[in-house]
Every structure is written in C-alpha cells, then in structure tokens.
Amino acid sequence: MKFHIDDLPIIFPYDRIYPEQYAYMCDLKRTLDATGHCVLEMPSGTGKTVSLLSLIVSYQQFYPNKRKLIYCSRTVPEIEKALAELKRLMDYRMTCAETEEEKAKEQNFYGLGLTSRKNLCLHPEVSKEKKGRVVDARCRDLTNSAVCEKGRQNPGSVELCDWHENLGQMEPGNLIPPGIWTLADVLQYGRDKRVCPYFLVRRMMPFVDVIIYSFHYLLDPKVAEQVSREVSKDAIVVFDEAHNIDNVCIESLSIDLTRPMLDSAARSVGRLGEKIEEIKKTDASKLQDEYAKLVEGLQEASQDEDSFMANPVLPEDLLKEAIPGNIRKAEHFVAFLKRFVEYLKTRMRVLHVVAETPLSFLQHLKDITYIERRPLRFCAERLQSLVRTLELNRLDELSALQKVAGFATLVATYEKGFLLILEPFETDNATVPNPIFHLTCLDPAIAIKPVFERFSTVVITSGTISPLDMYPKMLQFTPVVQETYSMTLTRNSFLPLVITRGSDQVAISSRFEVRNDPAVVRNFGSILVEYSKIVPDGIVAFFPSYLYMESIVAAWNDMGILNEVWKHKLIFVETPDANETSIALENYRRACDNGRGAVLLSVARGKVSEGIDFDHNYGRAVIMFGVPYQYTESRILKARLEYLRDAYRIRESEFLGFDAMRTAAQCVGRVLRGKTDWGLMVFADKRFARADKRAKLPRWINQYITETASNLSTDMALTLSKLFMRTISQNPNENQTGISLWTLEDIEKAQAKQKALALEAQQQQDQHMDDAEDEYYGDGGLDDEILREIDLDV
Amino acid sequence: MPSTVCTAKTSYKKLPGLLELTSTHLQWTQDGKKAPSVKVPHSEAASLFCSKEGAAQVRLKVALVGDDTGHNFTFTSPQPVALAEREKFKNELTNIIARNRNASATPAATAPGTPSASVRTSSVAPLGIPSPARPPVSRAASASSDSRGTPANDPTSDFRLRKKVLLSNAELAALHREMVMGGHISENEFWEGREHMILAQSAADNQKRGKPGQLVDPRPQTVDGEIKIVITPQLVHDIFEEYPVVAKAYNDNVPNKLNEAEFWKRYFQSKLFNAHRASIRSSATQHVVKDDPIFDKYLEKDDDDLEPRRLRDESVDIFIDLGATQEDHGESGNIKDVTMQAGKQRAVLPLIRKFNEHSERLLNTTLGEPATKRRRTDVAEGPGHYSQIDLEDLHDNQTSGGIVLNMQDRERYFGVRSSETSGQQPANQKLDFRSALHEAKLSLPDWSSSLGRLRLERKAGDDALNGMTQNVAARLEVKRTKHDISDNLFRQMTTCQTAANEFLRQFWLSIYPPVTDGQTLSAATPAQKAAKAGKMIDYLSRTHEKVGALVQTAQQEGVDPSRVQVAMKPVLDAVDNALEFWRRRSSKQAR
C-alpha cells in the first residue's frame, strides 16, 4: 500500500495498516523533520519494526541527502528479525517501483547486520571455539595487518585465514551485491564465495544505507570506537526494544575484578616482562621506535580493524596528549602494572565491605604506591601500544590484564557517577571469602551522552517504556516528540488479570517474607495447574529471579504440583546454559505446534524474556508469578538508587516500581503479534492490585484491566479466562476495517479530517494572533499539539 | 500324543471351545471340531496378559514372538472356576515364557519392549506380590480394539461399536428402541445408511492415545504399616525407557548375578535410584542409602554444572538462538546480583534438565527426532521465517482470496472471445473511460437540488411498516401459544414424526440405493429391496391413522387439533409423496 504523509510517499508492505502504526509513522516523520530525539511507546505486536523501517526507508529513498539508518536492537534474534523485515520491505518496494529508475534505486539499497566474530566466523578451526573471546583472539592472530604483510611477502611462513585473504582481493566497497542481507544470508554468501562474513560487513559499513546491530556497538566505548566511529553525524539512530537501555549504558562502563583475574593479570605482566627482555636482545629497535612515537604524542591507531581493545572511556574523555614519561618505556610500564596489580590484590584481602568514590580510591592508591592519576589514565592505551609492538598472539590469555588496565583508565578518568564497591563475600552468610571489586557506573546518561550529542536524530522506542518521562530524565536528553499509543481493538484480544489470592483466599505475593510460605507456593502452583488445564497450546510462566524459580520448581515437584501439570502439558525450564535453553525452546515450540501443549518456566530479565516471541499458539497465556523487583539487597543497586535520588530526584521506590513494572509488561507483552492473535496475561501477586503499581504499566495494557479483573482469586480468574476464551474463539462478526484496521481510504479520510482541524485551528489562531502574539512562536507549535490530539482519537 | 497339562473351557473370537496346554503346545479347539484351530508351540510364547481380578470376563492373552497381538481367550466357566483355571494356565505359561526368555540370546531386548508376567513379582523388602493387572500393551501404543468382534472383523457390523454409538446419542437410541426393538425393522436395516457413525466411532476408538506426560517416579506407598514400592510390568517398562542405564543394568545382571526380585530390591535401595528420583530431597536421604557394588557402577556424576554435561551442538533456529546473543558482544558490566545468577541452586539443575529431557523424549516418541543438523541458512531461507514476522490480519483477504478454477480445455471457452476482443480492447478502454467520465459529469450537475426533491412515497412506507408490525405480532402470538401442548402429546408427536422419517428413509434407501462404497451392510438383491420397500410402504400407509389418533388425543386434552395437524402436515405430505410414488411405480410394473 502506498500513501503520503505530508509530501512524503510511504510504501507500506501490507494492504492494511493499524491506526496506531499510522500515528507512529506520523510522529516519527515529525521527529526526522525536526532533527531531534523522540521517545515512542507502541503496543507490542502491532508491527512497530515494520512501521519504523517502512517510514525511514521511504524517507531515505525520497530525500536526496540519504541519511544512514543505524538500527540497534537488543538480541541477535531481534536483529535477525529486523533484517528479515527489512528484506521483505525492500522486496515489496521493488514490486511497487513504477519506473526503471526507481527500481534501480531500490535495487541499490544496502542493508546489513553486524554481530560478533563468533557468530559470523567460517574458519573451520576458529569457528569451533566455544568462547567468543577466544574466537576474537585467534581471528586477530590470523588477520592482523602485521601478520598479513608477513604472510603475503612470504607465503606459507605464517598461517593466514583464507576467507580473510579472499576478501582482501575483492574491490573495496563492492564486496557483496547490493540488497538486504540477513545474518544467515551473509554467512551463506561467505560460504559460497569463501570470504569472511565478519570483515565483509565491517568493511561495507561505510557504504550501507541501513546497518543493524546491537546496542553495545554504539554504546559501549570499547566496541563503538572500533565499529561505529566513521558513521556520519546526520545518521538516524534507532534504539528498538529500548526499555532496558539504561542498563546497557551502565553495563558498558562497569567492570568487575576478582581474585583469579588478578592472579591471571599478574602472570600476564610477568610474561610481558619476559617478552620485553627477549625482544631487547633480538630486536631492540622495535622498542625504541615505540618509545620515540610515544614521545612525539599519541600513537594513531594504525588500522581500526586491528585494534584489539579500544579505550574503555568515551572518546571525548580521552586525553589528547602524549603518554606520561614514567610509563613510556616498556619495562617501566610493566613495573607500573605490576605495582598496580599488587595493590589491588592487597585491597582484596580486606574482609569487610568497602564502598568508596574514585577520588578516594586514587588518593589511597597514591598514598600507598605513589601511582599518580595521570599515568593511570593512559593505562589501557599504553597496554595496547605495547602489545602491538611485541606482536603478541592469543590475546585472550591477556584478557584479565586488559580488564585491569581498563579498570585503571576508567577509575582515573571519571570522578562523578561512579562508585567502587569491594564485596569480600558472595552472600551475607558465606564464610569463605570470594572477593569481587566492582567498579560500577551509576549514571546511564554518561555512556549515551556522546550518542545524543553526535547524532541529530535518536529514536528510543519499545512496547513498554512507561512512564515516558522517566527516560529523558534518566538519560538526560530533551525529546521533541514523546508519545504513547493505545491499541485500537474491535474486540479485546487479550485479557489482563490480576490474581491477588488463591482459591483459599490466602494472599499471594513474591514478597521476600512470604515467598517461600507453603501456602503461597501452593497457590502459585495451583494457578499453573489450573491454567494448564484450560489453556490450549503454550503457557509461559515468568518468575522474578533465577533463585526463586529454581527453588519453586523444586518445591512444586516435591508437592506433586508438577505431576498435575505433566498430565496436561509438557514442562520446559530455562537453564543456565543458553544453548541448552534454546533447544528447550525449540522443543517447546514443537510441542505447541503439535497440539500437545507445553509450559515454559523462565525468568523475567532472564535470557528468554528478551527477544523471544510467544505469539499465537506459542503463548496463549503468560503468567507472571510475583512482581519482578530487583534484588534490593544488592549494594550496586542501592548505590544506583541513591545516585538517582541525589542527581535526578527520582525516588528509590519510584524507580524500583518503574523497573519492576516495565519488566513485567515486557514479559507479558510477548504474547501478542497482530490483532487477530489473542492471549491471557496473568499477574499473580497481590501488589499488582495497587493502583500506583498498575499506573506504571503501559497504557495499552492498563486500559484493559477492568476494576473487577484487578483483584481476583484464582477461581474467579479461571472463570473469567474461560469466558474470555470462549468468546475469543468465536468468529469475529464485526468488520475490523475502519476501526482497528485502516485501508488506504481510511488513511485519506483521517488525513482530510486532520487537515480540516488544522485549518480551523489556524483560523482560530489567526484571530487570536493579535492578542497573544508573543505566546505563539509560529504555526508549528499549535499544529503539532492538535495533531497529537487527533492521533489519540482515532 | 503329548500329555495334556491343563484344560479349560474358553471362547476364542466369540466361539466356544476348549483350551489345552500340552507339554509342547498351547492349543484351542472349537466345540464340535476335531483339529485345534489355534496351536502355539511353547517356544513362541513371548508374554502373557490377564484381565483384572474382578473384571466381568476372565481373559488371558498370549502374545507371540514377533506378534504382539497374539491370542485372546475368555474363560467361560463360572467366575470362581474360571479364575482358578486361568491361574493354572498362567503359572504354567509364566514358566514356559521365562524359559523362553532365558534361552533367548537377547533376553532384555524383549523385556523392555513387552513387559512380561515374569517381571511382575518383585518389590522392596517385604515382597507384596502385585496383582497381575492387565496393562495396556504399551503406553504409547493405541488402546486398539483387539479383534473381539465377529471373525469377519468388519467395524460396521461390530456390535460393541453400535452400542457405543447408541449410548452416546440418546435420540438415536430412542429411535433404535422404537424401531428395532419394536420389531419394525431389523438391526442391519437400521444401521444401513448410518455406517459413517460406526466408522467414526471405530476411528475414535482406534486413535492413538499419546503417552502420559508424568515422570516415572515410583513413590513408596505404605501398605499395612510397611513401606513398599509396588512394581507393575508397566512401571518396569517405563523405568527402562526413561533410564536406559537401568535397562543396561538389568541386561548385565539378570539373571546371572541377581534374580529378578533381588534386582529391583537392590535398585530401589541404591544411589542410582536416588539419583533418578525426581526430587531434590533425595540428597537428604543420601545417608540412608547403602553402597551397592553393582549399581554404583552405573552411577553417573550429577549433571549440575552450569553447562550441561552432554553438550549438544545442533544448531537452532536463529530466531530463538539465545547463545548467539550471549556471544554477540564481549561481556561487560558488573556481575548479576545473587538472585539473578542462574544455577545458584545446583541441586535443582539435574531436576530441571530431567524435565527438559523428559519432555523432549515424549515429543520424539510421537514426532520423531527433529531434523538434526539443520544449517541455519536452510531455515532462514524457508518461508517459515517470513511467516513468523508476518502480521496476517494486515493482508487484504478479499483481493487475494479465491481459488483459481482449473478448467480443462480452457481455450475452448475463453480463447475465442479473448481473440475477438483483443483487437479492439485498448481503444475500447479509452473510449469507455472518457465517455463514462463524460456521462458522469453530465448526470452530476444539480445533484443537490435533485436530492432535495427526493420524496419517499407515503403509502409504500406505511405498508412496509404495517407489514413489519404484523410480522412481529404474529411472532408474538406464536411465542405465546407455543407451550400449551402437553409433554406427553408432544412426545408422541415427536416419536410419530421420527418413526415416519425413519420409514421414509428406509423406503427411499431401497428405491434409490446410495452409491455403494463397499461399506453397506447388505448388498441386497432387487427383490429384497422391493420387498423392503413394500414393507416400508405398509408402515407408511399407517401414518395417517397414527396422526389421526394424535389429533384425537389432542382434542381430548383440549389442545387445538388443527395445530397438531399443521405440525404433522410436512410429514404427511412426505408420506403421501412416497405413497403416490409407490402406487404409480407398482401400477407401472403391473402393466
């Protein structure tokens, strides 16, 4: 279907469109025109990705200054889905193209996805490695520029990667024919042509129109420096599924050190020392060259593909000056590192919890070891230079040392928004010390700041980012558009229910004090049993934490509750291992397809809760057992809460509630895809009944929780569920078209209505112009205001 | 002549006869015949099943080597005698089967497959001999109706199936009572034309029942103050299937090192059993569990590491590939808090893994192994991936729907016309468009005033309204007077009507027999059909009388007789129709 928003022709790859999709596209276009940032919440399963891509690609193809799209998602499945969506969109655009010229334009459109070497490697041996870090290291050994040069001059002298070599022989910028390539496609292309998919994507990045990768590739300075540095400033950046973006920001600047890591780092330092001695004897000039370079100033990163560990701090915080004299000489630097590691080791011996600011840490460090802040800041960079000079192999063995250097650089760079916490024991009751030194970033705004500053348009969107104003507050930016859309439905296709007590009227809750109470456990269990009796196909149950899930699974088994479930459905459980869980998931889907039906037990915020859809028969009911609060005893969380309160005036309880509800909504929102799909959403905890909790749910869920459905016992909920399933299974009589589905005519009607309203507003405004000229600054302001109102009405 | 060990009166395939066990054969002879019609050498007997004690019929089933269906015998003597007889047979046969099994090269190969009676005696310490229940053949196999029907084995004539159909359909049962038991038509006639119901029933009966999902978890029961685990052949079968290691142990040790009973006794006391129990409490009972040199050999380390012990490298659909996400970017950030670290409770991990494996195994029994070693791209290329991201309700069904009609010799119908028109078509189109536009333009001006001049005729409107009012009134009337026919009369009317309908059905069936698909009961000759039709006409001709009687009853009960007449009129019309048809036909034939 083809329609216009203002003067922009949009090609949408379906015959109909949901009204909320249309509204979403309008707002998105407004943001792009205004070159500002926006926060958009669109109900899960209403085709957010396709609307977004459809609008942005139309925008790119229509305007001459092709703005590149950087589309970030959370997980590889989501990346692959977005790529598939894009591929289908482009296929559709091709069929819509009227002239040859247009067709050629669509054909020359590039879209690629990037993921790690581990996921893209084709080398027969390297790809067998289990750990991504090892794959990275071995790949670098075979592909870095020094080795390649040597190998090419003197074939056979060193081992090279054929796939990488073949790629090098191709014409740069034309490594792969234009089009959209999903990760699977790129892999297959690599196999067919015997070229390396990873480097292919990396080298094609400057030429593509759309690049899709995960948040980290833009937010984590360690990766972003290598991957995303050359992207131009007018690119459109989209963070899809951005409800967790603050956590990704924080993660990308936080580091943990443990004792085994320090031991390993110490060993690496020793090995570096030996290597230096060795080189001194064989090729002393190398070290002198390096020294000379360092004296002159910062060594330019030779080739970005080579850099194995970029600086962990943000680019603007890098010091653009020469490396301090006392660590310029290789042996001095090694001694320096040694001292630092020793210092950290002694700190680890403390048997009580320590929390301190970076400043106080640096002070203490200086008092004890005379290590100054300035050289510490250069630690990561200096290490990189040294490793390159020594031409070391198998960098994964150095990873602990790299972490220590990163830790040093971070701690010396940032004063505010960070905290160091030393926890000698894993839990409060543990007796054997297992110390962890956390360097934790408390402020998500730090990591995302460069993104907001550098790119003119950043779109933050998800199915669940209520309350909307929380994100601008936490991430410190000003959106030009901030919008949430409700779901237009001709009949309620999902039923949210809040179960507050079991059939025996005992209140249920995952509150810490009562969560292991047998009555609560049994009542939780009976919810699962009863629902497995009445719901067809798949049921997904989420628990607030792994610990709770594991203990409750054991308890249910011993109580014979699971035996009841086995009678009706198969049971699958999320395990610690990702691959194992994937296989369980696949079997879960087979059981749902087969009609046998299955129950999947998993964890909110866990592996399964992100990026896996439970639409249609894969999830007819989602049960949220308890409110998925974070573990409030965690010292890191406490520190973060304190910081949020002091810096942004966000109350602790407010943040915790917000965080729990967005997680719950995220889990529950996975049941729907499209408006003909249906599902039950069961919130099983008495705390969900409280209005302030529910107010934090996205509006599109909350508006369908009726007063009666907000405080139910298990048996009442079952009655309602049965009733719902009976009604939803009927053939819908009423035609959805025009209400929850729009055809082209409906869009035009809505646009005409909008225009009329806008005209009216314009006239009114003209009348008032004389009285209140100062209050309006042009036509745009009010227009937008009214447009937004209209969108909500449809 | 081999000597006879024991004999009993039994029926086989519903025929009475004599079952004999001789020193070499098990044989059955039909009453009045000399040669045995079933003769099974001892060496072929593989297993034995008995009906439950207290069941209405005392039955014994002998399965043969390579033939699980085997033979079914029903002991026809009075219950106590029959039981005693069967017990005798069972004991003898058990010994024979046990001998067969020992002699066989792969004793356990058959044991797990067909739980045999020889496995039945064993349990923990104080041996309580479990009742030799007749287990379903296998939990996975269907509850197939063993051929207890007539030897013809035609489902449509199976009495049991007919009974089932009648039991599940009250109305049909009433009709059956009326017609067949009333002696109006024969049983077979009744079912003629209703074969589909029996076939549906037999299909439903034959449908495979899936395996129940429960984990095999033998829990001790307290019987008479003693704690026992009662083993049934079914349980043994399940244990072997669920834990192949036990089957292996059984294979290795029985009967050379341990006998049957001892094997199970020791198993249930071993660490192996505790490892298999689906409970994490088992770790608490670890200290009461004794070391067992035999079973401890089979013990594996607990599978409680974060990574499963059995690594599986089969690739999964990338849309659900969680591992790829984990490896998508280097690890960063602080470690998760203690509640969010998966696998903190290590004792639960084996349990969780067992759940996943058990579910997978159940799935595989019905669906077969998943297509292993799929390459990622193979999946990605398939249409399945688009369908996963598709929003189906956004497609316009109206335009895409419809099935292309495949016509033979299409050219003949369309070829000429299209060739005729093809020449002028483009010009036509242009012309059409312009003239249409022109016409539309011409007809359009002044539309608002003509709309204003539009008047609805008053009379027609009133008529329509009147008509509707009358309609509503009539409906109301009907509703009001509906329920004053007494229950009794109403039932009589219904019976009369259904009976007449059935006669009509039979009549027309004999006149115009349906296209036979081999399932009709009686391939009746024309003469038979004619006779039947005549009989039916006879019945039908009496319908008028019956209705007359009903009208009279109605009068007596003070119900408006005309209503009964109206109600029965369609039936009477149909009957008259049939009578008329018959009259004309017979007169034609007479001529």
Q: Please say whether the beta carbons of A531 and A682 come within 8 A.
A: yes
Separation between Cα atoms, residue B239 and residue B222, nearest integer Å: 21
Instruction: Pick B327 or B23 by higher pLDDT.
Output: B327
Look-up: residue for tokens 């949408």?
A: A12
Supply the Cα-derived Rg of chain B in whole angstroms.
Answer: 38
Q: Is the Cβ pair B322, A743 closer than 8 Å? A: no
Report which of A774, A25, A126, A677 is spatially closest to residue A394, judged by C-alpha positions: A126
- Residue B548 within any structural domain of the chain: yes
- pTM value is 0.73
Answer whether residue A680 shows pLDDT above 70.
yes
Look-up: residue for tokens 């009666």?
A: A708
Q: Please say whether the beta carbons of A106 and A97 come within 8 A.
A: yes
> Could you give phi then psi for residue B133, rounded to 5 degrees?
-70, 155
Is B236 in the same domain as B288?
Answer: yes
Q: Regarding beta strands B15-22 and B25-30, do their DSSP bridges make them parallel or antiparallel, or are they unpaired?
A: antiparallel
Q: What is the pLDDT of residues A753-791, one digit of tens each?
A: 988 998 888 888 777 655 554 444 444 444 555 555 555
Handedness of CA A737, A742, A744, A747 (dihedral sign): positive
Max mean pLDDT among A499-508, A668-677, B500-509 falls in: A499-508
∠ CA B185-B189-B195, nearest 5°, is 145
Answer whether residue B113 shows pLDDT above 60.
no
Q: Is the Cβ pair A75, B328 closer than 8 Å? A: yes
- Residue B563 within any structural domain of the chain: yes
Separation between Cα atoms, residue B31 and residue B17, nearest integer Å: 5
Handedness of CA B134, B136, B137, B138 (dihedral sign): negative
CB nearest to A116's CB, from B329, B349, B360: B329
Separation between Cα atoms, residue A235 and residue A223, nearest integer Å: 18
With contacts defined as CB-CB under 8 Å, which chain A residues touch B337? 630-631, 633-634, 636-637
How confident is the model at residue A188, as a pLDDT? 92
Tell me the CA distances in angstroms from B265 to B258, B260, B283, one per residue in order.
10, 9, 20
Which residues on adjacent β-strands are paired with residue A573?
A: A601
Q: What is the pLDDT of residues A201-220, one digit of tens each?
A: 999 998 999 999 999 999 99
Q: Please say whether the beta carbons of B114 and B63 come within 8 A.
A: yes
Answer whether residue A670 shows pLDDT above 70.
yes
CA B235 to chain A, closest CA, distance in angstroms equals 16
CB burial string A115-141: b at 16+ within 10 A, e below: bbbbbbbbbeebeebeebbbbbbbbbb
Supply the Cα-derived Rg of chain A in whole angstroms.
Answer: 29
Max mean pLDDT among A257-271, A286-300, B218-232 falls in: A257-271
Which CATH entry fits the domain spanning A2-109+209-249+447-484: 3.40.50.300, 1.20.1250.20, 3.50.50.60, 1.10.3720.10? 3.40.50.300
How confident is the model at residue B129, as a pLDDT? 36
Instruction: Pick A317 or A535 by higher pLDDT.
Output: A535
How confident is the model at residue B163, as a pLDDT? 83
Domain A494-728 has CATH 1.10.645.10: no
Q: What SS3 state is found at A38?
A: strand
Q: What is the pLDDT of residues A395-427, one digit of tens each?
A: 888 999 999 999 999 999 998 999 999 999 988
Tell me the CA distances in angstroms from B74 to A703, B10, B41, one per residue in order.
67, 5, 20
Is B19 in the same domain as B122?
Answer: no
Separation between Cα atoms, residue A528 and residue A584, nearest integer Å: 19
Q: Comparing A2-109+209-249+447-484 with A494-728, is the CATH topology the same?
A: yes
Q: Please list, in sequence order, all residues whose beta carbon lies within 8 angstroms of the beta carbon of residue B556, skipping any fewer than 6 positions away.
A: none
Q: Is the Cβ pair A568, B213 closer than 8 Å? A: yes
Tell me the CA distances in angstroms from A556 to B70, B105, B285, B540, B545, one per residue in order.
43, 44, 19, 67, 70
- Can you read off the two tokens belonging to residue B287? 């200290």
Tell me the CA distances in angstroms from A649 to A250, A330, A440, A473, one per residue in order.
18, 47, 20, 9
Q: Mean pLDDT over all residues of chain B?
A: 73
- Can you read off the two tokens belonging to residue B553? 């009853």
How confident is the model at residue B121, as a pLDDT? 34
Please report which confidence band the pLDDT of residue B120 belongs to, taking 50, 70 and 90 as the band edges: very low
Is B522 in the same domain as B556?
Answer: yes
Please report which confidence band the pLDDT of residue A313 belongs to, taking 50, 70 and 90 as the band edges: confident
- Residue B419 within any structural domain of the chain: no
Answer whether residue A10 shows pLDDT above 90.
yes
Is B40 in the same domain as B120?
Answer: no
Sheet hosting strand A37-41, strand order edge to edge: A179-180, A110-113, A210-214, A69-73, A236-239, A457-462, A37-41, A479-484
Q: How many CB atoms lie within 10 A of CB A349?
A: 10
Q: How many CB atoms lie within 10 A of CB A574?
A: 27
Is B132 in the same domain as B9?
Answer: no
Answer whether residue A464 shows pLDDT above 70.
yes
∠ CA A68-A673-A605, nearest 5°, is 80
- Residue B121 within any structural domain of the chain: yes
- Residue B445 within any structural domain of the chain: no
Q: How many domains does chain B have?
A: 3
Share of chain B above pLDDT 70, in %: 74
Answer whether residue B236 shows pLDDT above 70.
yes
Helix-helix angle A399-413:A259-296, to 10 degrees: 70
How confident is the model at residue B173, as a pLDDT? 85
Report which of B278, B337, B343 is spatially closest to residue B304, judged by C-alpha positions: B343
With contacts defined as CB-CB under 8 Å, which chain B residues touch A403? none
Is B12 in the same domain as B129?
Answer: no
Please report which confidence band the pLDDT of residue B375 belongs to, taking 50, 70 and 90 as the band edges: very low
Tell me the CA distances in angstroms from B422 to A105, A408, B415, B416, B426, one per residue in order.
35, 82, 10, 10, 8
Polymer length of chain A:
794
Please report which confidence band the pLDDT of residue A574 belongs to, taking 50, 70 and 90 as the band edges: very high
How confident is the model at residue A306, as a pLDDT? 59
Is B13 in the same domain as B133?
Answer: no
Is B125 in the same domain as B247?
Answer: yes
Which residues on adjacent β-strands are paired with residue A418?
A: A441
List B residues 13-72 in contact with A (Cβ-Cβ < 8 A): none
How confident is the model at residue B70, as a pLDDT? 74
Report which of B94, B95, B327, B126 is spatially closest to residue B221, judged by C-alpha positions: B126
Is B492 in the same domain as B579?
Answer: yes
Please report which confidence band the pLDDT of residue B103 belongs to, taking 50, 70 and 90 as the band edges: low
Share of chain A above pLDDT 70, in %: 94
Of A369-383, A391-405, B339-353, B425-439, which gets the smallest average pLDDT?
A: B425-439
Q: Is the Cβ pair A631, B389 closer than 8 Å? A: no
Answer whether residue A171 shows pLDDT above 90.
no
How confident is the model at residue A265, as a pLDDT? 95
Separation between Cα atoms, residue B261 and residue A694, nearest integer Å: 61
- Can you read off the two tokens belonging to residue B141? 């196999």
Please report which confidence band the pLDDT of residue A471 belongs to, taking 50, 70 and 90 as the band edges: very high
Best of A25, A557, A586 to disrupt the B interface (most B CBs within 10 Å) is A557
DSSP B337: P
How confident is the model at residue B109, as a pLDDT? 36
CA atoms within 13 A on the CB side of B340: 17
Q: Is the Cβ pair A583, B323 closer than 8 Å? A: no
What value does the mean pLDDT take over residues A722-738?
A: 79
Q: Please say whether the beta carbons of A410 and A255 come within 8 A.
A: yes
Separation between Cα atoms, residue A532 and residue A534, nearest integer Å: 6
With contacts defined as CB-CB under 8 Å, which chain A residues touch B348? 550-551, 553-554
Answer whether residue A302 shows pLDDT above 60.
no
Q: Is the Cβ pair B377, A187 closer than 8 Å? A: yes
Is B114 in the same domain as B95?
Answer: no
Best of A216, A579, A632, A634 to disrupt the B interface (most B CBs within 10 Å) is A579
Q: What is the pLDDT of residues B265-297, one digit of tens each?
A: 888 878 788 777 756 554 455 556 677 788 888
- Residue B336 within any structural domain of the chain: no
Answer whether residue A84 shows pLDDT above 90.
yes
Q: Please say whether the beta carbons of A275 and A392 come within 8 A.
A: yes
Tell me the CA distances in angstroms from A435 to A254, A347, A633, B74, one per residue in order.
17, 10, 17, 75
CB nearest to B376's CB, from A184, A438, A741: A184
Share of chain B above pLDDT 90, in %: 2
How confident is the model at residue B115, as a pLDDT? 38
How confident is the model at residue B67, as a pLDDT? 66
Q: Mean pLDDT over all residues of chain A?
A: 88
Is B98 in the same domain as B223?
Answer: no
DSSP per residue over A177-194, as a string?
-SEE--HHHHHHHHHHHT
- Can you read off the two tokens belonging to residue A114? 């990037």
Amino acid (1-letter code) at residue A620: R
Listed residues B81, B104, B127: the one ending a domain:
B104
Please report which confidence band the pLDDT of residue B519 belongs to, taking 50, 70 and 90 as the band edges: very low
How confident is the model at residue B141, as a pLDDT? 33
Q: What is the pLDDT of residues A482-523, one digit of tens each?
A: 999 988 887 888 999 999 999 999 999 999 889 989 999 999
CATH number, position B49: 2.30.29.30
Please report which confidence band the pLDDT of residue A297 belongs to, taking 50, 70 and 90 as the band edges: low
Q: Please say whether the beta carbons of B319 and A85 come within 8 A.
A: no
Answer whether residue A571 shows pLDDT above 90.
yes
Of A389-393, A601-605, B530-534, B565-569, which gets the smallest average pLDDT?
A: B530-534
Q: What is the pLDDT of residues A340-378, one digit of tens each?
A: 999 999 999 999 999 999 999 999 999 999 999 999 998
Please report which confidence band the pLDDT of residue B189 belongs to, taking 50, 70 and 90 as the band edges: confident
Instruction: Give the long-range contacts of residues A96-100, CB within 8 A, separation 24 or more.
Output: A96/A2, A96/A11
What value does the mean pLDDT take over residues A310-319?
A: 74
CA A220 to chain B, closest CA, distance in angstroms equals 9
Answer whether residue B334 shows pLDDT above 80.
yes
Answer whether residue B418 shows pLDDT above 70.
no
Answer whether residue B142 shows pLDDT above 50.
no
Instruction: Pick B491 or A680 by higher pLDDT.
Output: A680
Answer whether residue B379 shows pLDDT above 80.
no
Q: Please list, in sequence order, all residues whose beta carbon lies within 8 angstroms of the beta carbon of residue B246, skipping any fewer than 6 positions away.
A: B239, B240, B267, B272, B276, B298
What value does the mean pLDDT take over residues B523-551?
A: 80
Residue B99 lies in domain: 4-104
Is B504 in the same domain as B561?
Answer: yes
Q: What is the pLDDT of residues B454-473, one digit of tens each?
A: 777 788 888 889 999 999 98
How confident is the model at residue A308, as a pLDDT? 60
Instruction: Pick A257 or B216 by higher pLDDT.
Output: A257
Of B245-254, B323-332, B395-404, which gets the smallest average pLDDT?
A: B395-404
B315 lies within 8 A of chain A by CB: no
Q: Please say whether the beta carbons of A545 and A512 come within 8 A.
A: no
How confident is the model at residue B374, as a pLDDT? 43
CA atoms within 13 A on the CB side of A565: 31
Which residues on adjacent β-strands are paired with residue B10?
A: B17, B75
CA B374 to chain A, closest CA, distance in angstroms equals 13
Look-up: residue for tokens 């869009």?
A: A747
Listed residues B247, B282, B300: the one ending a domain:
B300
Answer whether residue B447 shows pLDDT above 90.
no
How confident is the model at residue B110, as a pLDDT? 36
Answer whether residue B549 shows pLDDT above 90.
no
Best of B307, B314, B355 to disrupt the A interface (most A CBs within 10 Å) is B355
Q: Is the Cβ pair A571, B359 closer than 8 Å? A: yes
Instruction: Pick B483 or A625 by higher pLDDT.
Output: A625
With contacts defined as CB-CB under 8 Å, which chain B residues touch A546? 339-344
Domain ranges of chain A: 2-109+209-249+447-484, 255-413, 494-728, 744-793
Helix-helix angle A779-793:A744-769, to 10 degrees: 140
Answer whether residue B150 shows pLDDT above 60.
no
B360 lies within 8 A of chain A by CB: yes
How confident is the model at residue A298, as a pLDDT? 53
Separation between Cα atoms, residue A175 and residue A205, nearest integer Å: 11
